[in-house]
Amino acid sequence: MPRGSAPTPSPEKAHSRGHRAAPGQGKSPSVEVVPVRDELAHSEPPVDLPAVAADAFSAILSDMAALRTLREVDLPLVTAFCEAVYVHHEASAVIHKHGVLVKGAQGQPVPNPMLRVQKDAAATMRTLADVLGLNPMARIRGNLMEVSGQSLALGIRDRLLARIDK
């Protein structure tokens, strides 16, 4: 087995030009950060949301705004999350009223069908909470990304200052 690095293919045989931009391609497009609009935190819940979902909607907007993560494009996902909260609430109420086991077609005890509805709503809530940053792990990931971005920016600043001082 040969030792060392593999030989570099000639430019004619290479499948790419490496990591540098080809002449004329120059800069990457700039990225514009959309600022958080404070008035979004006070958005009214959709009128057709039941009270349980509307309360969740207001609480979520307040939390996301405080964390500076709320954007207008998030509102449909927040609404979907709140609808899942409502479905979970309703399924839980039926389970509490009739029990975990109910009478089946032939009188034997069977699991309450609302258990599946409750479980599906909880899964939807878990997925959307992760996407929206509403659970502890998602918040930790978001904070780590923010710290990483700040660290990167500070590193770039320090390198630029070092070059200027030379």
Encode pLDDT of 33-67 as tens digits: 555 667 888 999 999 999 999 999 999 999 888 88
Between 73 and 11, the more confident residue is 73
pLDDT score recorded for residue 57: 97
Please give the average per-residue pLDDT across 96-112, as a whole number. Answer: 96
Amino acid type, 25? Q
Plot region of 18 (φ>0 → left; ψ -120 to 50 → alpha; else → beta)? left
Q: Which of 23-32, 47-56, 78-87, 105-114 has the lowest mean pLDDT?
A: 23-32
Distance of alpha carbon 19 from alpha carbon 93, whole angstroms: 58
Torsion-angle region of 45 (φ positive above 0: left; ψ -120 to 50: alpha; else: beta): beta
What does pTM read for this prediction? 0.66
H or E element, residue 103: strand 101-103
SS3 (DSSP) at 10: coil
Residue 90: the pLDDT is 98
The mean pLDDT value of the chain amounts to 81
The mean pLDDT of 97-106, rounded to a whole number, is: 95
Residue 164 has a pLDDT of 82
Give the residue with greater pLDDT, 155 vs 50: 50
15-35 burial, b at 16+ Cβ within 10 Å, e below that, comes to: eeeeeeeeeeeeeeeeeeeee
pLDDT at residue 161 in the model? 74
What element of type H or E holds 101?
strand 101-103
CA 166 to chain centre: 43
Give me the residues paired with residue 109 across strands: 103
Mean pLDDT of 64-76: 89
| Proportion of the chain above pLDDT 70, given as a percent | 67
